[in-house]
Amino acid sequence: MDLQALVCEVHAELDAASERGRVADYIPELGKVPGAKFGIAIATMDGRCVTAGDADDAFSIQSVSKVFALALALGKIGDGLWKRVGREPSGSAFNSIIQLEHEKGIPRNPFINAGAIVVADVILAGHRPREAIGEILRFVRVAANDETVSIDPAVARSEQEHGFRNAALANYMKAFGNIHNPVELTLGVYFHQCAIEMSCVQLAQAGLFLANSGRDPRTGISVVSKERARRINALMLTCGHYDGSGDFAFKVGLPGKSGVGGGILAVVPGKASIAVWSPGLNAQGNSQLGTRALELIAQRMGWSVFGA
């Protein structure tokens, strides 16, 4: 089937749905986004990008940014990162602090909040927060091949004002010696990283290196090594959707990372990178229409990594 036709079909089919989940409102800026928004973009190896719906609207990528921050941090300190953060699914809610006590301040994986705060701490590494934030943003712009990607300062500020759980996590890990910079500086980097804004088109293009063994097929730039791309994909599949990761693997069968802003980035190894966005979230805190769209696309294209 033609990919463009498929994307339109899936978008139309789901856009008719009345039940779209609940828009996150723990910070006012996210709560303002219209629940009716729904975009899909698929970037393929040959440089094409097929889209449907609100694929050009910028939205807050939130936790999807953890994928890029992880790739950047691995580039900086390599496998030494795995001494400070684990690689196992967490089996509990995304802001759970229990596991940290049990494992002496080592978060289970880089995609839960605690783990992503450690990754931000690795990127900060004694520099000024402004520099670390700039470095993350440059990394995402290179990956997206788009210099217009930016950060929404109002969202970053709002995260900071409501970020008591993240402050608890960071202080807790600091007590175990697993945060090396001052807590407020590391959190500053983390909150700005979460406030990156991208459209589905930008996001799909930014994820393409993960589908193509670490290399951007359009620019030829090697973003990460082949082995590292494979391993980031593995982490996305096992840990990318908090306590809904098993279900996402079961239904969609692709590496993916969701954000509370309603975006999801999914990777089809060797074939494509998909970004979906719809702000309403399901019970696990992942985009409801987005998850369903990925399920239909993977199924109809035979794209699951687990078999046609």
Which spans of this chain sit near a second copy (rule: CB under 8 A)? 86-92, 96-99, 101, 108-109, 164-165, 167-169, 171-172, 174-175, 183, 210-211, 213, 226, 229-231, 233-235, 237-239, 243-247, 249-250, 253, 255, 269-270, 304-308
Cβ(118)–Cβ(107) below 8 Å: yes
Which residue number, 148 or 171, has a Cβ lying nearer to a second copy? 171
Query: Which residue in the list 33, 190, 199, 268 is annotated as catalytic?
Result: 190
Which residue number, 39 or 255, has a Cβ lying nearer to a second copy? 255
Rounded CA gap, 268 and 39, in Å? 18
- What does the angle CA 164 – CA 248 – CA 206 come to, to the nearest 5 degrees? 75
Sheet of 39-44, strand order = 49-53, 39-44, 272-277, 263-268, 256-258
Residue 197 token pair? 């804004």
Cβ(287)–Cβ(262) below 8 Å: yes
Rounded CA gap, 261 and 174, in Å? 28
Q: What is the DSSP letter of 94?
A: T
Instruction: Assess whether 65 carries a catalytic annotation.
Output: no
Which residue number, 154 or 234, has a Cβ lying nearer to a second copy? 234
Instruction: Assess whether 242 carries a catalytic annotation.
Output: yes
Q: How far is the CB of 123 from a second copy (least distance, A)?
A: 21
Instruction: Assess whether 66 carries a catalytic annotation.
Output: yes
Query: Which residue in the list 183, 260, 268, 276 is annotated as catalytic?
Result: 260
Q: How far is the CB of 259 from a second copy (least distance, A)?
A: 20
Which residue number, 296 or 305, has a Cβ lying nearer to a second copy? 305
Cβ(110)–Cβ(235) below 8 Å: yes
Query: Which residue in the list 60, 63, 158, 245 is annotated as catalytic?
Result: 63
Query: Which residue in the list 37, 66, 174, 257 is annotated as catalytic?
Result: 66
| Catalytically annotated residues | 63, 66, 190, 242, 260
